[in-house]
Structures are given as structure tokens and as C-alpha cells.
A and B are shown apart, each in its own frame.
Chain A
Amino acid sequence: MGLTGGDGVRDGDLQESILGLENLRTCFYTQGAVVRAVDGISLEIRSGEIFGLVGESGSGKSVTALSIMRLISSPGEITEGRIIFRGVDLVELSEEEMRRVRGDKISMIFQDPTAFLNPIMKVGKQIAEPLTLHRGLGGSAARSTVLELMGLVGIPDPEQRIDDYPHQLSGGMRQRILIASALACQPDILIADEPTTALDVTIQAQILDLLRELQRELGSSILLITHDLGVIAEMCDRVAVMYGGHIMEVAETESVLGAPQHPYTAALLESLPQLSQSKERLQVIPGNVPSAVTPPPGCRFHPRCSYTEAVCIEKMPSLVQLADGRQVACHRCI
């Protein structure tokens, strides 16, 4: 099976939606309290794009990713909304049907490649797992595909490495192994949940380059979750900013980072360290991330926002499309 050859997808049907979240709500039921980690978000990921999801810790990025994979386990639950993947609502699928989607149509890579690899299984076997599960490939057929995949993700000397255990590889190589395993069945979407957080800076750049390269070659869409605006700027076609379980702003990366419309996005960008300015202290957003158990009324950001008006406290702004195509959830922009 050829692993490359999805050329032309990128410019061809850029507008075609491949994954759509409609009013997705995921809650966790803890003692006496309901944590609304993802509180009614709507998103659209288009075929062949790299879509960024950015936000602080606790903003619901990872829960969104796990919801798409339907990997939310008790006490969590998707309580509302639809996840439309190629016209099928994933929320409605049975566990067995969903299992056939995972790793085949949609796959995921995680933060810490060391923890997410089985320590006592050879890396080649681990890359082959999705092939065995979804393609029925085993033995030598799987082995040659695995070797091809290992080459594709830039592992030098695959013949040697294929029988190594995870502890014999470096962190960057381990992340490449996870990527190879995630891409084994050529999924339509790859969800990358902070794929570079556990790696050091030079390796981060390599892994990001690799992801972008593979995305171009295979034509998959990537949902990239990160808290690093630099990564977003470098990688993503479009980006959604999440805060307190809500989407604040969605647009092309250049317009979000270049001319943010939402006060939260703007504040986030201002708190980035700037090389051109020699400030003593970094700018911070006053206050804390809102509690997901007792979220503030109205706009989630109003207690920390410098433009708060009466309406912000009363009513939650909905995500509206502006003239330039971007979507913003802020009363000021309507």
C-alpha cells in the first residue's frame, strides 16, 4: 500500500468540511458538582487543513479532543451536541462502530510519547497495531509497511530500530513512533494533543516540521491542540481560541494573531514576551481561569475583561460571523 500520494487535496477542496462539532457539551459528574469542561462549542474542520485549538490549561481543549475520539470515560459524558464526521454523527455510533473509526479514520497523538507507548512492547509491533486491527495485516506484510512508515516519519535505520523497545529511543524518536502508529491507516484526521509539550525545543521544531510535511504528503487534516501561540502561528491555517469551555474566536491564523477581535485573544497576545521590547515584567491577564463548576454568568471572560459592560454579565454572547469571515463571541463585535 502506498503511503504517499494525497497531493492536490490541499488546494482542491479546501472548503469541504470533514469534521463538524455542533453545540458539543461534555460534562464531568463529580461529587455533587457538574463540571462543564466543554460547554456547547461548534467548530468546523475542513479537509486538508491544519486547524489549531489554543487555550489555557483547563479551557477544555483536551476534553474536546477526547470527545471527538469518544474517549471520555466515566464520570465524564458527552451530554449534548453532535460530532459530524463525513456526514455521520459520531455521538450516535455504538462503541463497536466507534472502535472501527479510531485509529483508522481519526487517530490521535498525545503529549508525552514516553507514557503513551507500552514499555515492554517492541516499537515495530506498536506501529503495526492499527494495521492489524483495521487492515488485518500481520507478520511480514505488516513489517514491511511498518518499515515504510518508520522511514516516512524520519526514523533513521528503521531495520535496526523496529525491534527496539521504547526505552532504547530518545523522546523525539518516541514521538515519531507514535506519529507513525497514528498515521499507519492514513486517517482523515489526526488529532495532535500538545504533541511537543514534553519535548525539548529543538526536537519540538523537528516534530512540527514533520507533522506539516506529512500533512502535505498524506492530505490528512490535523487538529492541533496547544497552548503555544508560536506553534499556532507557525503551523495552522485556521485557529479557534478556547476559554472556559467556550470558543471565543475562530478565523484564519493571520487574522486572529494579526488583528484579534476578541478581548481575550488580544490579551493573550499581549502577554507574550516580545523580543523587541525590553520590559521588566511580562504583561498578564488579571484574575484566574473561571471555575468550570460555577462559571461566571454571561460571558465567561467578563470578570477579567477590560471592556466589560452590563450586557456581558447578563448574557452569554454567541459566536457570530463578522464581515471578514471570522467568528467572534463578544458583545462588542455585534
Chain B
Amino acid sequence: MVARLKSRLDQLVQSYRTFATSRIALLGLVFIVFLSLVGIFAPILAPYDPTKLVDTRLLPPSREYLFGTDHIGRDVFSRIVYGARVSLIAGFGAQLLSLAIGMPLGLIAGFFGGRVDHLVMRTVDVFMSFPYILLALLLASILGPGLRNVILALGITGWTSMCRIARVQALSVREAAFVESCRAIGASDVRIIARHILPNSLAPITVVATLGIASAITGEAALSFLGMGIKPPEPSWGSMLSEAKLYLYASVTLGIFPGIAIMMAVLGFNLVGDGLRDALDPRLRRRALG
């Protein structure tokens, strides 16, 4: 038992080492961890209520108000801190929904092929023929504002790339000889997909999911920017940018801080996604080490 735990630990350490050889991916991870901590401890970190007016409007950054105050006098720092919560929840939530829709559909399409494949992939084509954000905007306007609806809108529109990658994986793995030996011991299709195709497809799916979180975060910011996202008094980086654009001459910092926050989050997930791709692809791994 101890030996088993130890070998498991060794494997994790090995994967981590490969991942860590890429400094830049580690930087991304630092961003994500930092923002996650900020989001989790928002009530402790934020000096003021993010929805309450605290002082005169459009104050510049000061010791009292780290990032200044916004156009109606709320503390920008507190709003950024609480905004991390919204962004990360929207990003993870939407991507989880995409994963739940896209991955099984893709695996089924790729594994069975034929008509099932056609049906699923043509549906994907229809979804992809609309610009992602327009479709999300349409859904968000039907569903109405709010974090839950933003997640629904982004999840329902964003599953297509996940579906495609899962399909391609299933297509290639199902040709592997060991799938034949699974059939030869009497495994059912469902079992083969769940126990053999899925685990063998997980590496690229993880990468796409990580990159998908980044795009869901931009998606949330965009929806909020366009007024279809988070309900106004709640803080969201996207809606803060939107509000700031009217007051940029009065206070540049109003736009800069939420911009930097969005950039950090998106960059973080993108860097980690790239790093994961390198770490999980054995061909790239050898090159990175050698």
C-alpha cells in the first residue's frame, strides 16, 4: 500500500517536473493561483463593500482607495477583488458545461462514426457558423442577465471545440489494437468508451479545457461589457471596463485595472494550457528536456 502511494507520488512529481521546466507555464500557474486566492478570500481582502458608495466619485488611487473610486464613488479595488470571483466562476462553470456537453458527444461521434458522427458534427458546424460571441449574446439576451445565465449562455455556445477534439481523439484511439483486445474479452461499447477511449483522450481534452476557461473568461467579460452579463451592481471586470469607457478622460486608471485583471486571468490560463500541452505530449517532452 505504501509502495503504491509512493509510486503514485513519483508519477505526480515527474509530471510536475516536466511542467515546471517551462518557466512561462509556471508563471501562468502563479497568476491563476493568485487570482483564485483573491477570489476565495475576497471578503477578507476587500476593504469596502463592492456595491456600496464609499466616497466622492472618480478619486485617483490613494492609500485609502488603492485603485481609486469609480464613476459613482465605489471602491475600485474592492470591486476588482470581488470581480475575480465572478470571472473565475464564470470561466470554470462555462467550461465545465462545455465539457459536459461536448466531450461525451464528441467521443460518441468519433467512436461510432457513420450517421451518429454526421449528426453531431453537422450540429457542431451549425453552431460554429455563428460567431461565438454573437450566439452567446443572443442566448444571454433570451435568458436575461446574471451569473448563472452567463454560464449557461457561454457553456451552450462553447462546447463545439471540445466536441471536435474529443471526436478526433476517439477516432484515433478506437483504431488502437487494444480496443480490439477489449472487444475480445467481451467489453461493451459503453465500457470501451468510458474505460479506454476517454482516459487515452484526456491529455488533449485537458489542454483544450484549460484554454477554454480563458476564452470563457473573455466571453463573460465581453457579455458584461455589452450589458448582457452580470447584473449591474454586482462587480464584474467586463462591466467595469464598460463603465470606465465613458470616464477615461477623467480617470484612466478606471479602465486600466479591470483590463489588467482580465489580461492576467486569460494569460494565466493560456500559459498553463500551453504548458500542459507540452508536458502531456511525450514527443514535445523529450525535446524540452533534451
Contacts and interface: CB of A to CB of B under 8 A. Distances in A.
A119 B199 CA distance: 10
A333 interface: no
Contact of B185 (A107, A115, A119): A107
Contact of B181 (A100, A117, A120, A134): A117
B187 interface: yes
A211 interface: no
A163 B7 contact: yes
Interface string B163-196: 0000000000000111011111111100100011
A149 interface: no
Contact of B177 (A100, A102, A115): A115
Interface of B: 3-4, 7, 176-178, 180-188, 191, 195-196, 199-200
CB-CB nearest 10 A-B residue pairs: A103-B185, A115-B177, A102-B186, A103-B186, A116-B181, A130-B185, A108-B184, A118-B178, A99-B186, A116-B177
B184 A69 contact: yes
B187 A133 contact: yes
A118 B196 contact: yes
Q: Which of B181, B188, B191 has the most CB of A within 10 A?
A: B181
Nearest to B173: A118
A163 B195 CA distance: 17
Contacts of A116: 177-178, 180-181
Contacts of A181: 181, 185
Given A120-B199, A121-B199, A163-B7, A115 B186 contact: no
7 contacts: A100-B186, A102-B184, A103-B187, A107-B184, A118-B200, A121-B196, A133-B185
Interface of A: 69, 71, 99-104, 107-108, 110, 112, 115-121, 129-130, 133-134, 160, 163, 178, 181-182
Interface SS, B side: helix
B183 A71 contact: yes
Contacts of A120: 199-200
A160 B7 CA distance: 11
B257 to A, nearest CB: 44
Contact of B186 (A117, A119, A130): A130
Given A102-B185, A102-B186, A115 B7 contact: no
Contacts of B176: 115
Contacts of A129: 182, 185, 187
Nearest to A168: B7
A163 B177 contact: no
A264 to B, nearest CB: 30
A20 to B, nearest CB: 21
Contacts of A182: 184-185
A120 B184 CA distance: 19
Contacts of A112: 177
Given A101-B186, A103-B185, A133-B186, 18 more contacts: A71-B180, A71-B183, A71-B184, A100-B186, A107-B184, A107-B185, A108-B184, A110-B177, A112-B177, A115-B178, A116-B177, A116-B181, A117-B178, A117-B181, A118-B178, A129-B182, A160-B3, A178-B181
Contacts of A133: 185-187, 191
Contacts of A130: 185-186
Contacts of B185: 102-103, 107, 129-130, 133, 181-182
A130 B187 CA distance: 8
Contacts of A102: 183-186
B184 A103 contact: yes
A112 B177 CA distance: 9
A71 B188 CA distance: 13
B200 A119 contact: yes
Contacts of B7: 163
Nearest to B200: A120
B182 to A, nearest CB: 7
